[in-house]
Amino acid sequence: MHQLYTFLVAIHIFAAIIGVGPALVFNRILKTAGNMHELKSAHKIIGKLNPLSSIGFGLLVITGLLMGLMNPSLFKTVWYVAALGLFIILGIYSAFTIEPKMKSMLNISEAHVGENIPQEYIQLLNKKAPHDWVQNALLITIFILMVFKPW
């Protein structure tokens, strides 16, 4: 039982690396593009990394809940319940703010002909920035809750 729990912690940490790692750098990758050619490559890289990141987030919540089932006293701790709540908020927040913008940006980059990045795209990227901050703040808060496990 103890070994299974440790195994779940290991999978959980691995899932955090493949889930959170790419999510934290997507914006950086887009911002490094100086022209349409680079931007299209940036979207291609993100398109390849995104499914991996989603698997990581899925594994995070599955292993987190399994650990809760194995040790139900976790549901009485503030850090565990808060992390679960923040994780759900994070999923809903990203789905309604970041993902639609990313979709529109991808569509613009695919449809645009020419080497200059269109203004419409830059505006969307700038509009997305505050939402990225909120997303990253939520991720880092959950991470801190995981490591320090307060209350």
Residues of this chain that interact with ligand HEM (CB under 6 A) are 9, 12-13, 16, 20, 60-61, 64-65, 67-68, 74, 80, 83-84, 87, 139, 142-143, 146-147
Those residues with Cβ within 8 angstroms of residue 143's Cβ, 6 or more apart along the chain or in another chain: 16, 20
Least Å from the CB of residue 59 to ligand HEM: 10
Least Å from the CB of residue 92 to ligand HEM: 14
Q: How far is CA 112 from the centre of its chain?
A: 27
Least Å from the CB of residue 41 to ligand HEM: 28
Q: Which is nearer to ligand HEM, 57 or 121 (CB)?
A: 57
**7 CB-contact burial (10 Å; exposed 0-12 / middle 13-18 / buried 19+):** exposed
How far apart are alpha carbons 111 and 9 in whole angstroms? 44
